[in-house]
Amino acid sequence: MPDIYYVSQKKTIFQGMSFVAWVIVGLIDGFAIFFVTFFIFVDSAFNSEGFNTDLWGFSLTMYSSIVLVADIKVALFTKYWTIFNYVAIYVTSILIYYAFFVVVDVFKDTFVF
């Protein structure tokens, strides 16, 4: 399907300003995810002296948000959907990611770190 690769053949993506724009959007997304998560967890994750008390919940929520935002952005900007896109986004990225936490929660007492 050569129509899928027309964008890279004509060199219309990842040129100077386009790349800089994507980096800036990524930084804005990262700052937004961090500060929204920070203000949600400010009372439970940090005590009055500024030390963390629930770093696991804070970091897990923040990383899960990053995974979901990245998957949503990939899905929004995908022009041609194939079975590989569905498997990569929904099965590999989202389902396995959350299934991992279910398995770890079930076996949390058997692992010694």
Q: Per-residue pLDDT tens for 1-44?
A: 666 676 667 666 667 788 888 899 999 999 999 999 888 887 77
For residue 59, give both structure tokens.
Answer: 């970091």
The candidate with the shortest Cα–Cα distance to 37, out of 63, 73, 74, is 63
Mean pLDDT, rounded, of the chain: 81
Strand partners, 46: 52
pLDDT score recorded for residue 26: 92
- The answer to whether the beta carbons of residues 84 and 98 sit under 8 Å apart is no
CA 98 to chain centre: 12
Whole-prediction pTM: 0.70
CA distance between the termini of the chain = 48
Residue with tokens 């959350």: 98
pLDDT of 107 higher than 90 = no
